[in-house]
Amino acid sequence: SSPPDKAMVCFGNMFIELPKAKTREMLRQDQEELDEEINNLRKELRVKVNRLYEAQGKPELKGFNLNPMSAEEMKLINRILEG
């Protein structure tokens, strides 16, 4: 069993015991990088879809340039809905 201030983290096929603060920071950084990559892929997809529509002689897709709400925005919306 791990001490209360340590966490078992899996790297590939082995587990390493790390301080919880370090583990939390690593997960936060990974999540930021993943969010950035997702946003870049979404932007590229929009450009590619618009090019496809243009090549097919179709009008630009409406509502396709919308952005998803952030976790913070969702929390605010939920608070408003809950009253």
* pTM, to two decimals: 0.62
Q: Is the CB of residue 45 less than 8 Å from the CB of residue 64?
A: no
Query: Which residue, among 35, 29, 4, has the nearest Cα to 19 in the 3D structure?
Result: 4
The pLDDT value given to residue 56: 93
The pLDDT value given to residue 1: 60
Give phi and psi for 71, each to the nearest 5. -60, -40
Give every residue of the chain whose pLDDT is below 50, as ranges. Answer: none
- Measured CA to CA, the distance from residue 71 to residue 76 in angstroms comes to 9
